[in-house]
Amino acid sequence: MDSGALLDILGNENRRRILRLLARKPCYVTEISEYLGVSPKAVIDHLRKLEEAGLVESRVDDRRRKYFNISQNLRLEVRLSPFDFGAKSAYPASADLDISRCQHVSIRVQQDNTGDVAELASKLQELRDLERELSMAQRWVQGRLADVQNRLSDSVDGTEERLYADVLGLLTGGAQTAGELARAMDAPEPLVEGVLESLQEEGVVARADDGWTITE
């Protein structure tokens, strides 16, 4: 789902409260209405929008009561710093993903096919602990990113043009054209060309046959 649309949907506090409730158990409209303290009509409107977004689904029980539950797993990530703003939504990767290919992450991978209750409960707690650690690591990485970007910007003739840091970071992967850099940065190509020319004047980058490269 598009991250912008997802942010719009989740921007409403009552819809977020509905999702927190449904994450605990399936509920019908009257239950949700009593929990939120709002009218059933308002709840139905929120549920309709959540259904249209594909976040919840419904089923009817033997007593013809319509239950709602969360329909899928997804993750929404919002990044905000003096150097960056972005939002990204993603569905969880398959359990078959080979995490060992991730060069910056070291996780003990163990396939668990047991159906034993005690083993599954232990695995659940282990994964929750891992989730908390990863959240802490993400905060640390974001802080380090901002620090390095700030120092990199300052190292280029003391300038505070943060675009310089982005361009230099992308060029560490090899020569790239102004068009390639602009697409990667989601920035106008003339703006990127101006940054490259300024960096060239300072002797930091040079033009090559296949694009721009860092000289230092």
Q: Alpha helix (H) ranges present in the chain? A: 3-10, 13-22, 29-36, 40-52, 117-155, 162-171, 178-185, 189-201
* pLDDT in the model for residue 51: 95
Give 18's pLDDT tier (boundaries 50, 70, 90): very high
Question: Would you say residue 32 has pLDDT above 90?
Answer: yes
Q: Are 191 and 172 within one domain?
A: yes
66 Cβ neighbours under 8 A, 6+ residues apart:
28, 29, 58, 59, 60
Enclosing domain of residue 176? 156-214
* pLDDT in the model for residue 39: 96
Taking Cα atoms as reference points, which of 38, 36, 4, 40 lies closest to residue 20? Answer: 36
Amino acid (one-letter) located at 45? D
**Poorest-confidence range of 64-68, 77-81, 116-120, 149-153?**
149-153
Amino acid (one-letter) located at 99? I
Structure tokens, 62: 């033997």
Q: Are 52 and 113 within one domain?
A: no
Q: Are 12 and 34 within one domain?
A: yes
SS3 53: coil
Q: Measure the CA–CA gap between 48 and 31, rounded to whole angstroms.
A: 16
DSSP characters over 166-178: HHHHHHTTS-B-H
Amino acid (one-letter) located at 92? P
* pLDDT in the model for residue 160: 44
Single out the residue in 121, 151, 181 at which a domain terminates. 151
State pLDDT tens for residues 133-189. 888 888 888 888 878 877 777 776 644 467 788 888 889 888 789 999 988 887 888
User: Cα angle vertex 159, ends 154, 162, to 5°?
Assistant: 80
State pLDDT tens for residues 94-110. 767 777 777 777 766 56
| Backbone φ and ψ of 58, nearest 5° | -130, 160
Q: How many residues does the chain have?
A: 216
Q: What is the CA radius of gyration of the chain?
A: 24
Single out the residue in 130, 151, 172 at which a domain terminates. 151
Domain count within the chain = 3
Structure tokens, 187: 């920035």
- The CATH number linked to 29 is 1.10.10.10
Q: Are 10 and 66 within one domain?
A: yes
Amino acid (one-letter) located at 141? V
State pLDDT tens for residues 189-198. 888 898 899 8
